């Protein structure tokens, strides 16, 4: 069955770089897009960026200067790296599958990231 699972550090110091991994199973990264979406505590959802099935990427312009998404298809993994973290980057980070039509049809459990010294 389709599964996505985020992993990464729960605590990051201000100004440091966040590195997260989304490990997928049940589908191929060369056939489906994968998105990253984040959610500050008690707030709504924010789209961060996307790894397309063909390897192309697109980013939220508000984060583009700090954000990088990459992948390793042999390991079924999509990576998120975001630098210069600040306290308002605290939140839950999700990866989600994004077919063109049924976008966001499967979600990972999310990983909570706290930015604090």
Partner 1 sequence: DVVLTQTPPTLSATIGQSVSISCRSSQSLLHSNGNTYLHWLLQRPGQSPQLLIYLVSRLESGVPNRFSGSGSGTDFTLKISGVEAEDLGVYYCVQGTHAPYTFGAGTKLELK
Please report whether residue 102 would count as binding partner 1 according to CB under 8 A: yes
* Contact residues for 72 (Cβ-Cβ < 8 A; gap 6+): 79
Task: Report the distance separating Cα 25 and Cα 82, nearest Å.
Answer: 24
Dihedral of CA atoms 80, 81, 86, 91 in degrees, nearest 10, equals 20
Tell which one of 83, 105, 114, 116 touches partner 1 (CB under 8 A). 105
Q: Which is nearer to partner 1, 16 or 39 (CB)?
A: 39
Smallest distance, partner 1 to C-beta of residue 74, A: 26
Contact 51, 29 (CB under 8 A): yes
Q: How many amino acids of this chain bind partner 1 (CB under 8 A)?
A: 22
Tell which one of 60, 68, 76, 90 touches partner 1 (CB under 8 A). 60
Q: Which of residues 27-56 bind partner 1 (CB under 8 A)?
A: 35, 37, 44-47, 50
User: Across the chain, how many H-helices and E-strands are there?
Assistant: 0, 11
Residue numbers at the binding site for partner 1 (CB under 8 A): 35, 37, 44-47, 50, 58-61, 94, 96, 101-105, 107-110
């Amino acid at each position: 069955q389709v599964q996505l699972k985020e992993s990464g550090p729960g605590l990051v110091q201000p100004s440091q770089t966040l590195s997260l991994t989304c490990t997928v199973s049940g589908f191929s990264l060369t056939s489906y897009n994968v998105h990253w979406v984040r959610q500050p505590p008690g707030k709504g959802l924010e789209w961060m960026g996307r790894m397309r099935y063909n390897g192309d990427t697109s980013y939220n312009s508000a984060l583009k200067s700090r954000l990088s998404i990459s992948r390793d298809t042999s390991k079924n993994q999509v990576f998120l790296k975001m630098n210069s973290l600040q306290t308002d980057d605290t939140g839950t980070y999700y990866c989600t599958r994004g077919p063109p039509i049924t976008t966001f049809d499967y979600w990972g459990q999310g990983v909570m990231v706290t930015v604090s010294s």
